[in-house]
């Protein structure tokens, strides 16, 4: 199993209080993740403050652009993979995004994983791209992914989609990685189809082993239908982490944090029908032994990569202590097999 840390590029006001991390603390969290043996560090993506955050907090949060942040992290690390967890594809212009990601792949020596999704907050999308306020974001995401592939893999690329249009774009350098891995984020069927048809991985969020197994089965069918080998598609997962000496302590820490605000903000979308007890059960919340059991169950269901893990804490130090505890007790219990030279 591979493990990755979500560095708090855009979590202030969402999952952590305002103010939360400074830019320096965001970067330092990634540096410590590499030292602790994590596989990757990821940053999430918000260009404007969402409505629920504005209503919940009197002061606006600082959101740090993830690709620029990861470029700074790349310069100060050597083996840590750099993940967007998640890049909101509909808010990004594809030609510029392709250039930025290819550049980051070169600056990092081929360490980029691009996690992309539709995005959880339509109000943010409509504020940032009012000219596309009525757009089908799933279709826009699909066109963006196809555009990235065309720009990266062809000498010159043209796209004449419903939303994405450009002509005879010649963009070099191409990414170091061929293909550069893209993970399709999301839990719905459209995300699974995009993973199967256009991506190298599927990255759902906050689901348990049964849903992982079910999603993998669907992806296998969709992949075979377009002539792809399902074994080439990684199954990853983003989960919330909250460790405690007892299960009750872990639950209390979660409930007294800002993470429950984030959970309830998605009550009509991603967490619809999932009450607090079920949410804690499917996420990595509990004692270290209980969380190890959960990780083992996810691995048995076919999950290969726990990336952009969201560590609970009301201060940066509380969050980083959770990251350290998880490395000591959980990451160490699931060593990656050695690669034969």
Q: Tokens 């007892």 — which residue?
A: 246
Structural domain includes residue 338: no
pLDDT band at 341 (very low <50, low <70, confident <90, very high): very low
Cα–Cα dist 80/6, whole Å: 13
Count of domains in the chain?
Answer: 1
Give the pLDDT mean for 138-143: 98
What local confidence, expressed as pLDDT, does residue 265 receive? 76
**For the domain that residue 313 is a member of, what is the CATH number?**
3.20.20.30
3-state secondary structure 49-111: CCHHHHHHCCCCCCCCCHHHHHHHHHHCCCCCEEEEEEEEHHHCCHHHHHHHHHHHHHHCCCC
Query: CB pairs under 8 A, 24+ apart, for 248-252?
Result: 250/285, 250/286, 250/287, 251/280, 251/285
Q: How high is the mean pLDDT of the chain?
A: 95
Q: And the tokens for 74?
A: 């790349």
In a domain, 341, yes or no: no
Position 278 in a domain = yes
340 located within any domain: no
In a domain, 143, yes or no: yes
pLDDT of the residue at 340: 46
According to the model, what pLDDT value does residue 208 have? 97
Compute how many other C-beta atoms are within 10 angstroms of the C-beta atom of residue 262. Answer: 21
For residue 309, which of 293, 289, 325 has the smallest C-alpha distance? 325
- pLDDT given at position 339: 52
Model pLDDT for residues 5-49, shown as the tens digit of each residue: 999 999 999 999 999 999 999 999 999 999 999 999 999 999 999
Q: Does residue 242 contact residue 249 with C-beta atoms inside 8 Å?
A: no
Nearest Cα neighbor of 117 from 14, 219, 46 is 46
Which among 49, 61, 108 has a CA at the least distance from the CA of 83? 108
Q: Quick check: is 201 in a domain?
A: yes
Q: Which helix (H) or strand (E) holds 169?
A: strand 165-169
Give the domain range for residue 22. Answer: 2-333
Residue among 264, 209, 194, 238 nearest 84 (CA) = 238
- Is 339 within a domain? no
Asked whether the predicted pLDDT for residue 199 surpasses 80, the reply is yes
CB-based contact 96:56 (threshold 8 Å): no
pLDDT surpasses 60 at 185: yes
The 3-state DSSP class for residue 140 equals helix
Q: For residue 185, say if its preceding peptide bond is cis, omega within 30 degrees of 0.
A: no
Distances (CA, A) of 339 to 15, 335, 336: 37, 12, 9
Note the Cα 311 to chain centre separation in Å. 13
Task: Give domain status of residue 298, yes or no.
Answer: yes
């Amino acid at each position: 199993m591979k493990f990755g840390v979500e560095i708090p590029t855009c979590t202030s006001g969402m999952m952590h209080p305002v103010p939360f991390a400074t830019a320096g603390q965001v970067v330092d969290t990634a540096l410590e993740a590499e030292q602790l043996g994590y596989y990757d560090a990821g940053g999430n993506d918000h260009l404007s403050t969402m409505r629920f955050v504005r209503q919940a907090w009197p002061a606006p949060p600082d959101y740090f652009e993830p690709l620029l942040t990861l470029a700074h992290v790349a310069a100060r690390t050597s083996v840590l993979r750099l993940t967007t967890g998640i890049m909101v594809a509909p808010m990004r212009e594809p030609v510029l995004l392709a250039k930025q990601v290819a550049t980051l792949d070169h600056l990092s020596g081929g360490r980029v994983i691009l996690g992309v999704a539709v995005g959880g907050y339509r109000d943010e999308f409509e504020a940032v791209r009012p000219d596309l306020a009525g757009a089908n974001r799933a279709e826009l995401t699909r066109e963006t992914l196809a555009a990235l592939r065309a720009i990266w893999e062809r000498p010159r690329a043209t796209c004449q989609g419903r939303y994405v249009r450009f002509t005879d774009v010649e963009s070099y350098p191409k990414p170091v990685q061929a293909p550069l891995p893209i993970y399709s984020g999301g839990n719905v069927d459209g995300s699974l189809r995009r993973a199967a048809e256009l991506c190298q991985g599927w990255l759902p969020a906050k689901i348990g082993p049964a849903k992982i197994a079910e999603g993998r089965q669907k992806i296998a069918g969709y992949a075979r239908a377009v002539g792809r080998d399902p074994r080439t598609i990684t199954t990853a997962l983003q989960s919330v982490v909250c460790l405690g000496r007892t299960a009750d302590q872990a639950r209390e820490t979660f409930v007294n944090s800002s993470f429950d605000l984030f959970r309830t903000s998605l009550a009509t979308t991603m967490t619809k029908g999932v009450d607090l007890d079920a949410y804690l059960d499917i996420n990595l919340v509990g004692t270290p032994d209980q969380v190890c059991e959960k990780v083992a169950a996810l691995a048995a269901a076919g999950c290969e990569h726990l990336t952009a893990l969201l560590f609970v804490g009301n201060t940066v130090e509380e969050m980083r202590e959770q990251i350290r505890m998880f490395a000591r007790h959980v990451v160490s219990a699931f060593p990656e097999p050695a690669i034969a030279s």
